[in-house]
A and B are shown apart, each in its own frame.
Chain A
Amino acid sequence: MTTKKKRSAHTSNDSWVVIAADSALDKTKLDDGDPTFIRLRNPATGAASQYLFSRGDVRLYEVKAFVEDFHSWFIDQTVQRDGRLLYVTPMDPLFLLLPYLQSGAVEGKFQPLQQIVMDEDYPGCTRMLKCTQALDTLQHVADEKVVGSQKFHRYSQEKTMDWLKKKVLNTVSALKKSDISVGGGVKSTTYVRVKQETDVTEEDYLRYAHGLISEYISEDLSKDLHKHLQLPEISSPKEVEPPSKKRKLSDKPVEAGEDYTKFNSADFARKPPKKMTAAQKTLAKVDKTGMKSMSSFFSPKVKQEIK
Protein backbone atom coordinates (compact mmCIF):
# COMPACT_ATOMS: atom_id res chain seq x y z
CA MET A 1 0.00 0.00 0.00
CA THR A 2 2.90 2.32 0.48
CA THR A 3 4.14 2.35 -3.06
CA LYS A 4 2.52 4.94 -5.23
CA LYS A 5 1.32 3.21 -8.28
CA LYS A 6 -0.59 4.87 -11.01
CA ARG A 7 -4.19 3.92 -11.15
CA SER A 8 -5.38 3.02 -14.57
CA ALA A 9 -8.09 5.35 -15.73
CA HIS A 10 -11.60 4.45 -14.81
CA THR A 11 -13.02 3.20 -18.04
CA SER A 12 -16.70 3.59 -17.47
CA ASN A 13 -18.45 5.18 -14.59
CA ASP A 14 -22.07 4.22 -14.42
CA SER A 15 -22.58 3.76 -10.72
CA TRP A 16 -22.20 6.16 -7.81
CA VAL A 17 -22.42 5.84 -4.06
CA VAL A 18 -24.24 8.83 -2.63
CA ILE A 19 -25.34 10.11 0.74
CA ALA A 20 -28.21 12.47 0.08
CA ALA A 21 -30.55 14.62 2.13
CA ASP A 22 -33.92 12.91 2.10
CA SER A 23 -35.58 16.12 0.91
CA ALA A 24 -33.47 16.07 -2.26
CA LEU A 25 -35.14 12.98 -3.61
CA ASP A 26 -38.56 13.69 -2.21
CA LYS A 27 -41.10 11.65 -4.09
CA THR A 28 -44.13 13.84 -3.59
CA LYS A 29 -45.22 16.22 -6.34
CA LEU A 30 -44.87 13.67 -9.10
CA ASP A 31 -45.88 16.06 -11.85
CA ASP A 32 -42.94 18.37 -11.41
CA GLY A 33 -40.40 16.21 -13.17
CA ASP A 34 -37.48 14.40 -11.62
CA PRO A 35 -34.54 15.79 -9.66
CA THR A 36 -31.56 16.61 -11.84
CA PHE A 37 -27.85 16.86 -11.35
CA ILE A 38 -26.61 19.93 -13.14
CA ARG A 39 -23.39 21.82 -13.62
CA LEU A 40 -23.47 25.40 -12.51
CA ARG A 41 -20.87 28.07 -12.01
CA ASN A 42 -19.24 27.69 -8.61
CA PRO A 43 -19.43 31.13 -6.95
CA ALA A 44 -16.04 30.74 -5.28
CA THR A 45 -14.01 29.36 -8.15
CA GLY A 46 -15.95 30.50 -11.20
CA ALA A 47 -15.54 27.00 -12.61
CA ALA A 48 -18.11 24.27 -13.04
CA SER A 49 -19.33 22.34 -10.04
CA GLN A 50 -22.01 19.77 -9.66
CA TYR A 51 -25.34 20.67 -8.07
CA LEU A 52 -28.75 19.12 -7.84
CA PHE A 53 -32.23 20.56 -8.20
CA SER A 54 -35.05 18.81 -6.40
CA ARG A 55 -38.32 18.18 -8.21
CA GLY A 56 -39.69 21.34 -9.78
CA ASP A 57 -36.39 23.13 -9.04
CA VAL A 58 -37.79 24.09 -5.66
CA ARG A 59 -34.58 23.44 -3.75
CA LEU A 60 -30.91 23.54 -4.61
CA TYR A 61 -28.30 21.08 -3.35
CA GLU A 62 -24.58 20.95 -3.71
CA VAL A 63 -22.71 17.79 -4.56
CA LYS A 64 -19.37 17.19 -2.95
CA ALA A 65 -17.19 14.18 -3.44
CA PHE A 66 -15.27 12.60 -0.66
CA VAL A 67 -12.23 11.01 -2.22
CA GLU A 68 -9.40 8.99 -0.83
CA ASP A 69 -6.83 7.11 -2.82
CA PHE A 70 -7.03 3.35 -2.89
CA HIS A 71 -10.62 2.78 -1.96
CA SER A 72 -13.26 0.67 -3.59
CA TRP A 73 -16.78 -0.40 -2.67
CA PHE A 74 -18.44 -3.74 -2.17
CA ILE A 75 -22.13 -3.33 -2.92
CA ASP A 76 -23.88 -6.61 -2.24
CA GLN A 77 -22.38 -9.02 -4.72
CA THR A 78 -20.53 -6.48 -6.82
CA VAL A 79 -17.33 -4.47 -6.73
CA GLN A 80 -17.35 -0.82 -7.58
CA ARG A 81 -13.84 0.30 -8.17
CA ASP A 82 -14.57 4.01 -7.79
CA GLY A 83 -14.35 4.48 -4.02
CA ARG A 84 -15.75 7.99 -3.98
CA LEU A 85 -18.59 8.94 -1.69
CA LEU A 86 -20.80 11.77 -2.92
CA TYR A 87 -22.64 14.03 -0.51
CA VAL A 88 -25.81 15.84 -1.60
CA THR A 89 -26.54 18.59 0.90
CA PRO A 90 -28.91 21.57 0.81
CA MET A 91 -27.48 24.88 -0.25
CA ASP A 92 -28.59 28.49 -0.20
CA PRO A 93 -29.14 29.44 -3.87
CA LEU A 94 -28.37 33.04 -3.05
CA PHE A 95 -24.67 32.16 -2.95
CA LEU A 96 -24.85 31.09 -6.57
CA LEU A 97 -26.89 34.08 -7.61
CA LEU A 98 -24.53 36.60 -6.03
CA PRO A 99 -21.90 36.64 -8.81
CA TYR A 100 -24.62 37.29 -11.39
CA LEU A 101 -26.11 40.09 -9.33
CA GLN A 102 -22.65 41.54 -8.81
CA SER A 103 -21.70 41.55 -12.45
CA GLY A 104 -25.08 43.03 -13.31
CA ALA A 105 -24.42 45.86 -10.89
CA VAL A 106 -21.67 47.44 -12.96
CA GLU A 107 -23.97 50.01 -14.46
CA GLY A 108 -25.85 50.49 -11.24
CA LYS A 109 -29.17 49.97 -12.92
CA PHE A 110 -32.20 48.15 -11.66
CA GLN A 111 -32.87 45.18 -13.91
CA PRO A 112 -35.33 42.30 -14.13
CA LEU A 113 -33.88 39.13 -12.65
CA GLN A 114 -34.23 37.29 -15.95
CA GLN A 115 -31.77 39.74 -17.46
CA ILE A 116 -29.32 39.48 -14.61
CA VAL A 117 -29.25 35.74 -14.16
CA MET A 118 -28.18 34.36 -17.50
CA ASP A 119 -25.08 32.52 -18.52
CA GLU A 120 -24.12 31.15 -21.91
CA ASP A 121 -21.90 28.52 -20.39
CA TYR A 122 -24.39 27.46 -17.75
CA PRO A 123 -27.86 27.98 -19.20
CA GLY A 124 -29.31 25.96 -16.35
CA CYS A 125 -28.64 28.84 -13.97
CA THR A 126 -32.05 30.34 -14.77
CA ARG A 127 -33.61 27.40 -12.97
CA MET A 128 -32.39 28.88 -9.71
CA LEU A 129 -35.02 31.55 -10.14
CA LYS A 130 -37.58 28.89 -9.32
CA CYS A 131 -35.99 28.08 -5.97
CA THR A 132 -38.22 29.21 -3.16
CA GLN A 133 -35.33 30.23 -0.98
CA ALA A 134 -33.79 32.36 -3.74
CA LEU A 135 -36.85 34.48 -4.38
CA ASP A 136 -37.79 34.78 -0.74
CA THR A 137 -34.43 36.07 0.35
CA LEU A 138 -33.23 38.15 -2.57
CA GLN A 139 -33.87 41.35 -0.64
CA HIS A 140 -30.94 40.45 1.61
CA VAL A 141 -28.46 41.16 -1.16
CA ALA A 142 -30.25 43.46 -3.57
CA ASP A 143 -32.44 46.53 -3.65
CA GLU A 144 -35.81 45.98 -5.17
CA LYS A 145 -38.08 48.22 -7.21
CA VAL A 146 -41.57 47.32 -8.30
CA VAL A 147 -42.96 48.97 -11.40
CA GLY A 148 -46.40 47.79 -12.30
CA SER A 149 -46.32 44.03 -12.22
CA GLN A 150 -42.59 43.79 -12.76
CA LYS A 151 -39.81 43.60 -10.21
CA PHE A 152 -36.37 45.06 -10.74
CA HIS A 153 -33.26 44.36 -8.71
CA ARG A 154 -29.90 45.95 -8.09
CA TYR A 155 -27.00 44.38 -6.19
CA SER A 156 -26.18 46.03 -2.89
CA GLN A 157 -22.72 45.52 -1.42
CA GLU A 158 -23.84 46.92 1.91
CA LYS A 159 -26.77 44.54 2.22
CA THR A 160 -24.65 41.66 1.04
CA MET A 161 -22.06 42.31 3.72
CA ASP A 162 -24.76 42.38 6.39
CA TRP A 163 -26.29 39.21 5.01
CA LEU A 164 -22.96 37.42 4.93
CA LYS A 165 -22.19 38.58 8.44
CA LYS A 166 -25.50 37.14 9.62
CA LYS A 167 -24.66 33.91 7.84
CA VAL A 168 -21.37 33.77 9.70
CA LEU A 169 -22.98 34.54 13.05
CA ASN A 170 -25.70 31.94 12.44
CA THR A 171 -23.03 29.43 11.65
CA VAL A 172 -21.12 30.36 14.78
CA SER A 173 -24.13 29.78 17.01
CA ALA A 174 -24.97 26.54 15.24
CA LEU A 175 -21.37 25.42 15.66
CA LYS A 176 -21.51 26.17 19.35
CA LYS A 177 -24.64 24.07 19.74
CA SER A 178 -23.23 21.23 17.71
CA ASP A 179 -20.66 18.66 18.64
CA ILE A 180 -18.52 19.71 15.73
CA SER A 181 -15.22 20.70 17.08
CA VAL A 182 -13.53 23.79 15.71
CA GLY A 183 -10.56 23.05 17.87
CA GLY A 184 -8.65 20.32 19.61
CA GLY A 185 -11.48 17.81 19.74
CA VAL A 186 -10.60 16.72 16.24
CA LYS A 187 -7.61 14.97 17.67
CA SER A 188 -9.61 12.80 20.01
CA THR A 189 -9.06 9.12 19.55
CA THR A 190 -12.33 7.99 20.98
CA TYR A 191 -15.07 7.23 18.60
CA VAL A 192 -17.48 9.87 19.76
CA ARG A 193 -16.00 13.27 19.23
CA VAL A 194 -16.00 15.30 22.37
CA LYS A 195 -16.04 19.02 22.04
CA GLN A 196 -13.34 20.70 24.03
CA GLU A 197 -14.61 24.08 25.01
CA THR A 198 -11.47 25.20 26.70
CA ASP A 199 -9.10 27.28 24.62
CA VAL A 200 -11.65 27.88 21.90
CA THR A 201 -12.33 31.59 21.69
CA GLU A 202 -15.09 33.55 20.02
CA GLU A 203 -12.58 34.57 17.42
CA ASP A 204 -11.78 30.94 16.64
CA TYR A 205 -15.44 30.32 15.94
CA LEU A 206 -15.66 33.44 13.79
CA ARG A 207 -12.63 32.46 11.77
CA TYR A 208 -13.89 28.95 11.31
CA ALA A 209 -17.32 30.13 10.18
CA HIS A 210 -15.77 32.76 7.92
CA GLY A 211 -13.68 30.00 6.38
CA LEU A 212 -16.72 27.87 5.77
CA ILE A 213 -18.76 30.68 4.21
CA SER A 214 -15.77 31.68 2.08
CA GLU A 215 -16.14 28.44 0.17
CA TYR A 216 -19.30 29.89 -1.31
CA ILE A 217 -18.18 33.39 -2.23
CA SER A 218 -15.54 35.03 -4.38
CA GLU A 219 -12.16 35.80 -2.92
CA ASP A 220 -12.92 39.52 -3.02
CA LEU A 221 -16.13 39.08 -1.09
CA SER A 222 -14.33 36.86 1.36
CA LYS A 223 -11.77 39.59 2.01
CA ASP A 224 -14.48 42.22 2.35
CA LEU A 225 -16.31 39.99 4.78
CA HIS A 226 -13.14 39.47 6.77
CA LYS A 227 -12.93 43.25 7.22
CA HIS A 228 -16.63 43.57 7.92
CA LEU A 229 -16.31 41.01 10.70
CA GLN A 230 -13.36 42.99 12.04
CA LEU A 231 -11.30 39.86 12.26
CA PRO A 232 -7.69 40.66 13.01
CA GLU A 233 -5.30 39.80 10.22
CA ILE A 234 -3.37 36.73 11.17
CA SER A 235 -0.97 37.20 8.34
CA SER A 236 0.67 40.29 9.84
CA PRO A 237 3.02 38.77 12.37
CA LYS A 238 5.11 41.84 13.18
CA GLU A 239 2.62 43.35 15.52
CA VAL A 240 4.33 45.64 17.99
CA GLU A 241 3.45 44.55 21.44
CA PRO A 242 5.21 44.71 24.77
CA PRO A 243 6.77 41.28 25.29
CA SER A 244 5.58 41.20 28.86
CA LYS A 245 1.96 41.45 27.87
CA LYS A 246 0.40 38.08 27.54
CA ARG A 247 -1.00 37.70 24.11
CA LYS A 248 -4.30 36.29 23.28
CA LEU A 249 -3.80 32.83 21.91
CA SER A 250 -5.18 33.42 18.47
CA ASP A 251 -3.09 36.49 17.79
CA LYS A 252 -0.06 34.31 17.58
CA PRO A 253 1.20 34.30 14.07
CA VAL A 254 1.85 30.64 13.56
CA GLU A 255 2.28 30.13 9.88
CA ALA A 256 1.85 33.57 8.50
CA GLY A 257 -0.34 33.73 5.49
CA GLU A 258 -2.56 30.99 6.77
CA ASP A 259 -5.75 32.25 5.39
CA TYR A 260 -9.14 30.70 5.02
CA THR A 261 -9.60 32.04 1.54
CA LYS A 262 -7.27 29.35 0.32
CA PHE A 263 -9.61 26.52 1.00
CA ASN A 264 -10.76 26.14 -2.52
CA SER A 265 -7.48 24.98 -3.84
CA ALA A 266 -7.51 21.25 -4.18
CA ASP A 267 -3.95 20.75 -3.18
CA PHE A 268 -4.28 22.68 0.02
CA ALA A 269 -1.73 20.95 2.16
CA ARG A 270 -0.38 22.17 5.41
CA LYS A 271 3.02 21.52 6.82
CA PRO A 272 3.40 22.00 10.51
CA PRO A 273 6.03 24.52 11.55
CA LYS A 274 9.24 22.89 12.62
CA LYS A 275 9.38 24.11 16.17
CA MET A 276 6.36 25.17 18.11
CA THR A 277 5.80 26.33 21.61
CA ALA A 278 3.06 24.67 23.59
CA ALA A 279 0.80 27.62 22.95
CA GLN A 280 1.49 27.52 19.27
CA LYS A 281 0.74 23.84 19.20
CA THR A 282 -2.60 24.47 20.78
CA LEU A 283 -3.27 27.23 18.33
CA ALA A 284 -2.29 25.04 15.45
CA LYS A 285 -5.08 22.77 16.48
CA VAL A 286 -7.57 25.42 17.42
CA ASP A 287 -7.32 27.47 14.33
CA LYS A 288 -7.03 24.99 11.62
CA THR A 289 -7.08 21.31 12.24
CA GLY A 290 -10.78 20.83 11.95
CA MET A 291 -11.05 23.16 9.02
CA LYS A 292 -8.35 21.49 7.06
CA SER A 293 -9.82 18.11 7.44
CA MET A 294 -13.27 19.22 6.41
CA SER A 295 -12.29 21.09 3.33
CA SER A 296 -9.17 19.62 1.88
CA PHE A 297 -10.60 16.26 1.09
CA PHE A 298 -13.56 17.66 -0.75
CA SER A 299 -11.49 18.30 -3.77
CA PRO A 300 -13.28 20.66 -6.17
CA LYS A 301 -11.86 18.84 -9.16
CA VAL A 302 -13.86 15.73 -8.72
CA LYS A 303 -17.14 17.51 -8.30
CA GLN A 304 -17.31 17.77 -12.01
CA GLU A 305 -16.92 14.17 -12.77
CA ILE A 306 -20.52 13.15 -13.06
CA LYS A 307 -21.47 14.63 -16.33
Chain B
Amino acid sequence: MAMNSCVTVVQLGSGTQVHQSEVHLLPCDIEHDGAAQVAEFFTPTVKERKHEKTVSFRGRGLKGQEVTHPQGYTGLVLKEVQKPSSDQEDRVVKVSSVFHNFTYWNLETPPTSDDRVMMSMAWPKLAEMMRAPVED
Protein backbone atom coordinates (compact mmCIF):
# COMPACT_ATOMS: atom_id res chain seq x y z
CA MET B 1 0.00 0.00 0.00
CA ALA B 2 1.07 3.53 -0.58
CA MET B 3 2.02 4.68 2.84
CA ASN B 4 2.53 8.23 1.73
CA SER B 5 -1.09 8.69 0.90
CA CYS B 6 -1.75 8.76 4.62
CA VAL B 7 0.41 11.76 5.34
CA THR B 8 -0.31 15.45 5.01
CA VAL B 9 2.56 17.80 5.69
CA VAL B 10 1.84 21.17 7.25
CA GLN B 11 4.26 23.62 5.72
CA LEU B 12 5.03 26.20 8.34
CA GLY B 13 7.58 28.26 6.45
CA SER B 14 9.97 30.48 8.28
CA GLY B 15 7.08 32.52 9.54
CA THR B 16 6.50 36.12 8.68
CA GLN B 17 3.25 37.70 9.73
CA VAL B 18 0.30 35.53 8.73
CA HIS B 19 -2.86 37.19 7.52
CA GLN B 20 -5.70 37.39 10.04
CA SER B 21 -9.06 36.32 8.70
CA GLU B 22 -12.54 37.39 9.59
CA VAL B 23 -14.50 34.19 10.04
CA HIS B 24 -18.22 33.44 10.31
CA LEU B 25 -19.94 30.10 10.82
CA LEU B 26 -23.33 30.18 9.11
CA PRO B 27 -26.32 27.97 9.93
CA CYS B 28 -26.87 26.87 6.36
CA ASP B 29 -25.27 24.85 3.64
CA ILE B 30 -23.97 27.18 0.97
CA GLU B 31 -23.39 25.21 -2.17
CA HIS B 32 -20.33 27.08 -3.22
CA ASP B 33 -16.60 27.07 -2.60
CA GLY B 34 -14.75 30.20 -3.52
CA ALA B 35 -15.08 33.93 -3.82
CA ALA B 36 -18.06 35.75 -2.34
CA GLN B 37 -18.78 39.40 -1.69
CA VAL B 38 -18.96 39.02 2.08
CA ALA B 39 -17.63 42.49 2.83
CA GLU B 40 -20.07 44.08 0.39
CA PHE B 41 -23.30 42.35 1.29
CA PHE B 42 -22.95 40.55 4.62
CA THR B 43 -20.65 42.34 7.05
CA PRO B 44 -22.10 45.84 6.56
CA THR B 45 -25.59 44.68 7.54
CA VAL B 46 -24.50 43.11 10.83
CA LYS B 47 -26.07 45.01 13.71
CA GLU B 48 -24.56 44.81 17.13
CA ARG B 49 -26.54 45.57 20.24
CA LYS B 50 -25.12 44.80 23.66
CA HIS B 51 -23.92 41.21 23.31
CA GLU B 52 -26.15 40.26 20.47
CA LYS B 53 -25.38 40.49 16.81
CA THR B 54 -28.08 40.26 14.21
CA VAL B 55 -27.99 40.11 10.47
CA SER B 56 -30.36 39.32 7.67
CA PHE B 57 -29.09 36.72 5.26
CA ARG B 58 -31.16 35.57 2.30
CA GLY B 59 -34.21 37.00 4.02
CA ARG B 60 -33.65 35.11 7.24
CA GLY B 61 -32.84 36.69 10.55
CA LEU B 62 -29.64 35.36 12.05
CA LYS B 63 -28.44 35.90 15.58
CA GLY B 64 -24.76 35.74 16.28
CA GLN B 65 -22.22 35.49 19.02
CA GLU B 66 -18.50 36.00 19.08
CA VAL B 67 -16.61 32.82 19.98
CA THR B 68 -13.11 33.04 21.39
CA HIS B 69 -10.83 30.03 21.31
CA PRO B 70 -9.59 28.37 24.48
CA GLN B 71 -6.34 29.73 25.83
CA GLY B 72 -3.28 28.32 24.10
CA TYR B 73 -5.23 27.62 20.93
CA THR B 74 -5.31 29.40 17.61
CA GLY B 75 -7.71 29.22 14.73
CA LEU B 76 -6.11 28.33 11.43
CA VAL B 77 -7.27 28.06 7.89
CA LEU B 78 -5.26 25.33 6.19
CA LYS B 79 -5.13 25.24 2.44
CA GLU B 80 -3.75 22.59 0.17
CA VAL B 81 -0.74 23.98 -1.62
CA GLN B 82 -0.90 21.67 -4.55
CA LYS B 83 -2.69 18.43 -5.25
CA PRO B 84 -0.30 15.51 -5.39
CA SER B 85 0.03 14.04 -8.86
CA SER B 86 0.23 10.51 -7.53
CA ASP B 87 -0.57 8.82 -4.26
CA GLN B 88 3.13 8.30 -3.70
CA GLU B 89 3.47 11.96 -2.89
CA ASP B 90 2.62 13.58 0.42
CA ARG B 91 -0.15 16.07 0.43
CA VAL B 92 1.01 19.50 1.49
CA VAL B 93 -1.04 22.15 3.24
CA LYS B 94 -0.04 25.55 4.50
CA VAL B 95 -1.47 27.93 7.06
CA SER B 96 -3.16 30.42 4.80
CA SER B 97 -4.50 32.58 7.61
CA VAL B 98 -5.22 32.63 11.32
CA PHE B 99 -8.16 33.83 13.40
CA HIS B 100 -8.50 34.46 17.10
CA ASN B 101 -12.25 34.40 17.24
CA PHE B 102 -15.14 33.83 14.93
CA THR B 103 -18.81 34.70 14.82
CA TYR B 104 -21.18 31.85 15.22
CA TRP B 105 -24.62 32.43 13.71
CA ASN B 106 -27.87 30.78 14.63
CA LEU B 107 -31.08 30.84 12.67
CA GLU B 108 -33.65 32.97 14.51
CA THR B 109 -32.67 31.92 18.05
CA PRO B 110 -29.84 33.61 19.93
CA PRO B 111 -26.78 31.39 20.49
CA THR B 112 -26.45 29.93 23.97
CA SER B 113 -23.87 27.86 25.79
CA ASP B 114 -26.03 24.83 25.07
CA ASP B 115 -25.34 25.11 21.38
CA ARG B 116 -23.09 22.37 20.25
CA VAL B 117 -20.50 24.66 18.76
CA MET B 118 -20.16 26.37 22.10
CA MET B 119 -19.87 23.08 23.93
CA SER B 120 -17.24 21.87 21.53
CA MET B 121 -15.03 24.69 22.78
CA ALA B 122 -14.72 22.76 26.04
CA TRP B 123 -13.10 19.85 24.25
CA PRO B 124 -9.47 21.08 24.32
CA LYS B 125 -9.64 21.38 28.09
CA LEU B 126 -10.93 17.83 28.45
CA ALA B 127 -8.33 16.53 26.04
CA GLU B 128 -5.54 18.19 28.03
CA MET B 129 -6.76 16.55 31.23
CA MET B 130 -6.49 13.12 29.73
CA ARG B 131 -3.18 13.81 28.09
CA ALA B 132 -1.45 14.84 31.31
CA PRO B 133 1.13 12.22 32.33
CA VAL B 134 0.53 10.47 35.66
CA GLU B 135 2.91 10.56 38.59
CA ASP B 136 4.89 7.47 39.48
Give the B-binding residues of A (Cβ under 8 A): 1, 7-8, 11-12, 14-23, 25, 27, 30, 34-39, 48, 52, 55, 62, 64, 66, 68-83, 85, 87, 89-92, 120-124, 133, 136-137, 140, 163, 166-167, 170-171, 174-175, 178, 180, 186-193, 212-213, 216, 293-294, 297-298, 306-307
Q: Does B34 contact A (CB under 8 A)?
A: yes
Min distance, Cβ B2 to any Cβ of chain A, angstroms: 10
Contact of B97 among A1, A38, A75, A170 (CB under 8 A): A75
Taking CB as reference atom, which chain B residue is nearest A189? B112
Min distance, Cβ A89 to any Cβ of chain B, angstroms: 4
The CB with the most chain A CB atoms within 10 A, among B30, B70, B125, B131, is that of: B131
Contact string against A for B residues 1-26, beta-carbon threshold 8 Å, 1 for contact and 0 otherwise:
10101111111101100000111111
The CB with the most chain B CB atoms within 10 A, among A69, A75, A307, is that of: A75
Min distance, Cβ B21 to any Cβ of chain A, angstroms: 5
Contact of B25 with A136 in the complex, beta carbons under 8 Å: no
Contact of B12 with A27 in the complex, beta carbons under 8 Å: yes
Contact of B11 with A20 in the complex, beta carbons under 8 Å: no
Contact of A70 among B27, B36, B75, B123 (CB under 8 A): B27
Contact of A38 among B7, B34, B112, B120 (CB under 8 A): B7
Taking CB as reference atom, which chain B residue is nearest A48? B6
Contact of A307 with B30 in the complex, beta carbons under 8 Å: no
7 contacts between A and B (CB under 8 A): A15-B79, A15-B96, A17-B75, A66-B116, A83-B26, A191-B65, A191-B113
Contact (A294, B128) CB under 8 Å given A70-B28, A123-B3:
no
Smallest CB-CB A-B distances: 10 pairs? A89-B127, A14-B80, A166-B134, A174-B129, A37-B8, A74-B24, A72-B30, A39-B6, A66-B120, A79-B36
Min distance, Cβ B64 to any Cβ of chain A, angstroms: 11
Q: Enumerate B88-136 residues with CB–CB distance to A below 8 Å.
A: 90-91, 93, 95-97, 107, 112-114, 116-117, 119-120, 122-135
Min distance, Cβ A305 to any Cβ of chain B, angstroms: 11
Taking CB as reference atom, which chain B residue is nearest A10? B33
Contact of A213 with B130 in the complex, beta carbons under 8 Å: yes
Distance A94 CA – B83 CA, assembled complex (angstroms): 33
Which chain A residues border B117 with CB–CB below 8 Å? Answer: 66, 68, 85
Contact of A71 with B129 in the complex, beta carbons under 8 Å: no
Contact of A175 with B36 in the complex, beta carbons under 8 Å: no
Contact (A193, B74) CB under 8 Å given A15-B80, A89-B127, A307-B6:
no
Contact (A20, B130) CB under 8 Å given A27-B15, A34-B10:
no
Contact of A20 with B74 in the complex, beta carbons under 8 Å: yes
Contact of A19 with B36 in the complex, beta carbons under 8 Å: no
Taking CB as reference atom, which chain B residue is nearest A38? B7
Contact of B97 with A91 in the complex, beta carbons under 8 Å: no
Which chain A residues border B78 with CB–CB below 8 Å? Answer: 15-16, 18
Q: Does B85 contact A (CB under 8 A)?
A: no
Min distance, Cβ A290 to any Cβ of chain B, angstroms: 8
Contact (A180, B122) CB under 8 Å given A77-B35, A192-B113, A213-B130:
yes
